[in-house]
Amino acid sequence: MSAPLSTARTRAALRASARISGETLLVLALAAVALWVLGRMWSVVWPLVIGLLLTTLTWPLTRYLRRHGWSPALAASAVTVLFLLVTAGVVALIAVPVASQSGELADGVVEGIQRLREWASGPPLNIGDDQITGAFDSATARVQDSAGSLVTTAVSGVSTVVDGVVTAVLAVFLMFFFLKDGPRFLPWLGRQLPGRLATDVPTVAARGWETLGEFVRSQAYVGLLDAVLIGIGLWIVGVPLVLPLAVLTFVAAFVPIVGALFAGFVAVLIALVSNGPADALIVLAIIVAVQQLEGNVFQPMIQSRGLGLHAAVVLLAVTLGGSLAGIVGSLLAVPVAALIGVVWNYLREQLAEPREAQPREPAGTPS
């Protein structure tokens, strides 16, 4: 027979479990309050986040100019103007080909729909034209019935565009000030905090800045390689809108896993509509090959130091961020997870047991 349970040990275990549960609930409640406050301040926080991401991307050039005698204001101004010019050039490179090939693409879409109707009318579906026409009539009736909601959606869409423009302008201004005054921020912050916080907070902030910069720059390098290789493949196959698709691939690289899937889907869809299923399969094979090359060669080489995150953690973080905040959540999921890892590692360093000093052997003792 097994020994009876100890009443004292059982009560102690229950008290410890209750204390840990209460402390965990308190931490979760504080996290929920922090997220609620963050949501209420999102109109300010979002431009700040974008400004920080842009700063990590443009800081190396600014640092180079400052080290070569440029004043902080002049270096920040030059880099900001260069960034705006590059952004305007990228937008022009996307808009001009799309506008010039929009008619060809529209004809391809119409032809693709006609092919789909012809395929659906044959076996095994055997869907007649009258059924397809009925479906279109039903869809048209639903659109007419929901005209009011469509107007509301259009108005909200215009409001979203305006908010996006305001956010972009604020982010650029914040980037300029971060580039100009960034190195003075941590010393100033240390002077404002009391006691041990004056050391802990600047240290964690500096490590977080390094991690954030590494993430942005490594994703930019990987996205550039993906865009070049996939763009060359699309050009060889003869898919239209090669340059916009290459730029989309580069931008989508900043959203790990999900971004690559989205950019690949768009490229395959354009190839299917414009060139047919054979070329679409070739494009799919090119994208899969480049993504495999990226995951097994590019990222291990470029992210040599790494973010300290397992691939499964990245996937779960992107999924959770997308479910909580859509595209914005997917974009910020990995850097947020990496910053949480920085804080956790620092806490572990501070809470770890100090190692006992090993006794040193007397001088002259034979080994």
Predicted pLDDT of residue 147: 46
* Mean pLDDT of all residues belonging to the chain: 76
Taking only the tens place, the pLDDT of each residue in 230-249 is: 889 888 888 877 877 888 78
Residue 126 belongs to a domain: yes
Cα gap 346→350, rounded to integer Å: 6
Cα 245 to its chain centre, rounded Å, is 18
The answer to whether residues 47 and 188 belong to one domain is: yes
Predicted pLDDT of residue 111: 62
The C-alpha torsion from 231 through 233 and 236 to 241, rounded to 10°, is -40
The answer to whether residues 78 and 206 belong to one domain is: no
In the structure, what pLDDT confidence band is assigned to residue 80 with cuts at 50, 70 and 90? very high
The answer to whether residues 255 and 229 belong to one domain is: yes
Q: What is the pTM of this model?
A: 0.64
Residue 366 has pLDDT above 80, yes or no: no
Residue 318 belongs to a domain: yes
Taking only the tens place, the pLDDT of each residue in 30-71 is: 988 887 887 788 778 888 888 888 888 888 899 899 998 889
Cα gap 280→274, rounded to integer Å: 9
The answer to whether residues 216 and 339 belong to one domain is: yes
- Work out the burial of residue 338: count CB atoms within 10 Å of its CB; fewer than 13 is exposed, 13-18 middle, 19 or more buried: buried
Percent of the chain with pLDDT over 70: 71
Q: What is the mean pLDDT of residues 124-139?
A: 61
The answer to whether residues 239 and 299 belong to one domain is: yes
Residue 115 has pLDDT above 80, yes or no: no
Predicted pLDDT of residue 238: 86
- What is the DSSP secondary structure assignment for residue 184, as one 8-state letter? G
The answer to whether residues 182 and 47 belong to one domain is: yes
CB atoms within 10 A of CB 115: 14
The answer to whether residues 181 and 210 belong to one domain is: no
More confident residue, 186 or 306: 186
The answer to whether residues 320 and 221 belong to one domain is: yes
Cα gap 84→159, rounded to integer Å: 23
The answer to whether residues 60 and 104 belong to one domain is: yes
The answer to whether residues 259 and 182 belong to one domain is: no
Residue 255 belongs to a domain: yes
Residue 46 belongs to a domain: yes
C-alpha triplet 120, 124, 126: angle, nearest 5°: 50
> How many residues appear in the chain?
367
The answer to whether residues 177 and 244 belong to one domain is: no
Containing structural domain, residue 73: 40-130+160-192
The answer to whether residues 262 and 345 belong to one domain is: yes
Cα gap 299→303, rounded to integer Å: 5
Number of domains within the chain: 2
